[in-house]
Structure 1
């Protein structure tokens, strides 16, 4: 997979999520699973050449862990509660939440662009010297980017689900 492809996948998944989360939205299973069900298969289709050992695997896992942390950070910026008018569990995602997601997207683009134009030779040499085959270097970097998006989507969905569960048991109200 090329880095350009991984960045297009990342942008598509993030924009889909932003459109689903902006403003006040009901918490439904469809809303929680949609980004994972649409983005997951796309990412896994393009990330078919996963390196399963050594530094290559470490880079891919680091991408996923970074995504999980970013996703938890994003969820922390969204409020969850009951809509006073309807009593339904909702989230409210404002400018901070959207800015965080956009910042994460820009960071991923910078890493991908940098790997192609700024520090690609240095990163490729480092990966090669640490046991990653020349033919796997682009896949490892691209997979790290895509796995960071998947991690962020997973943390987003799990975080919203856990917060919604807490609201259902405590009855916390969220004013419009």
Structure 2
């Protein structure tokens, strides 16, 4: 998978998620699972050449862990509560939430661009010296980018589900 393809996947998945989370939205299984059901198969389709050992695997796992951390950070900025009019548990994602998602997308783009134009030779040499085969280097970098998006999607869905579960027992109004 080319770095451009991995970046296109990342941007598409981020925009889809942001559109789904914009404003006040009811929390339901469809909303929680939709990004995962759409994003994960796309990511796995394009990340078909996963390196399963050594530094290559570590870089791919690091991408996923970075996504989990960024996703949890974004969810921490989303409010979850019970709408006083309908009684439904809803989320309200504000500027902070969107800033984390967009910032993560910009970081992925900068990394992808940098790997192609700024520090690609150094990164490739480092990966090669640490046991990643030459044909696998681009795959490892692309997979790390895509897995970071999947990590963010997982953290988003799990974080909202946990916050919603906690909010179900609470009665408070969510400011519009």
Q: TM-score, normalised by structure 1?
A: 0.98
Q: Specify the alignment match of 2:121 in structure 1.
A: 121
Find the aligned partners of 2:115 and 2:175 in 1 and give their Cα distance.
45
1:80-159 alignment, distance < 5 Å: 80-159=80-159
For structure 1, the residue ranges without an aligned partner over 5 or more in a row are none
4+ long deviations beyond 6 Å? none
Structure-2 separation of matches of 1:169 and 1:154: 24
8 Å Cα contact 2:83-2:172 kept in structure 1: no
Alpha-carbon RMSD across the aligned residues, in angstroms, is 0.7
* 1:118-176 deviation digits (Å, cap 9, x = unpaired): 10000000000000000000000000000000000000000000000001123343122
1:63 matches 2:63: yes
1:48 counterpart residue number: 48
* Secondary structure in structure 1 of the residue aligned to 2:50: coil
Residue 95 of structure 1, CA deviation: 1.3
- Tell me the residue number matched to 1:2: 2
Residue 37 of structure 2: aligned partner: 37
Q: Distance in 2 between matches of 1:58 and 1:46?
A: 19
Could you tell me which residue of structure 2 aligns to residue 20 of structure 1? 20
Unaligned runs of 5+ in 2: none
Q: 2-side partners of 1:89 and 1:169: how far apart? A: 10
Alignment correspondent of 2:168: 168
